[in-house]
Amino acid sequence: MHFATTDINNLDQQTRVHLINSLSGFKSANLIGTVDAQGKENLSIVSSIFHLGANPPLIGMIMRPHSVPRHTLENILQTGQYTINHVNDEIVEQAHQTSARYDKDISEFLAVGLNPQYKPNSIAPFVKESKLKIAVEFKSSQTIELNQTELVIGQITDIYLEDDSAYCQDGFLDLERINTVAVSGLDRYHTTTALTRLSYAKPEVQVQTIPVTTMKK
Rounded-to-integer distance, Cα 150 and Cα 183, Å: 21
Region 88-107 residues binding a second copy, contact defined as CB under 8 A? 89, 92-93, 96-103, 106
Region 30-69 residues binding a second copy, contact defined as CB under 8 A? 30, 47-60, 62, 64
Among 74, 78, 123, 156, binds a second copy (CB under 8 A): 156
Query: Shortest Cβ distance from residue 178 to a second copy (Å)?
Result: 10
Task: Tell me how many residues contact a second copy (CB under 8 A).
Answer: 112
Query: Shortest Cβ distance from residue 65 to a second copy (Å)?
Result: 9
24 counts as binding a second copy under rule CB under 8 A: yes
Region 109-128 residues binding a second copy, contact defined as CB under 8 A? 111, 121
207 counts as binding a second copy under rule CB under 8 A: yes
Among 1, 38, 105, 211, binds a second copy (CB under 8 A): 1
Contacts of 79 (CB under 8 A, 6+ apart): 34, 35, 36, 37, 123, 124
Cβ proximity to a second copy, 35 vs 173, nearer residue: 173
Among 10, 143, 192, 213, binds a second copy (CB under 8 A): 192
Count of beta carbons in the 10 Å neighbourhood of residue 63: 20
77 counts as binding a second copy under rule CB under 8 A: no
Distances (CA, A) of 68 to 63, 121, 159: 9, 27, 26
Query: Shortest Cβ distance from residue 43 to a second copy (Å)?
Result: 13
Cβ proximity to a second copy, 39 vs 216, nearer residue: 216
CB neighbour class for 202 (10 Å; exposed up to 12, middle 13-18, buried from 19): exposed
Cβ proximity to a second copy, 37 vs 204, nearer residue: 204
Rounded-to-integer distance, Cα 217 and Cα 215, Å: 6
Phi, psi angle pair for 39, to nearest 5°: 90, 5
Contacts of 110 (CB under 8 A, 6+ apart): none
DSSP output for 113-143? T--EE--TT--SPEETT-SEEEEEEEEEEEE
201 counts as binding a second copy under rule CB under 8 A: yes
84 counts as binding a second copy under rule CB under 8 A: yes
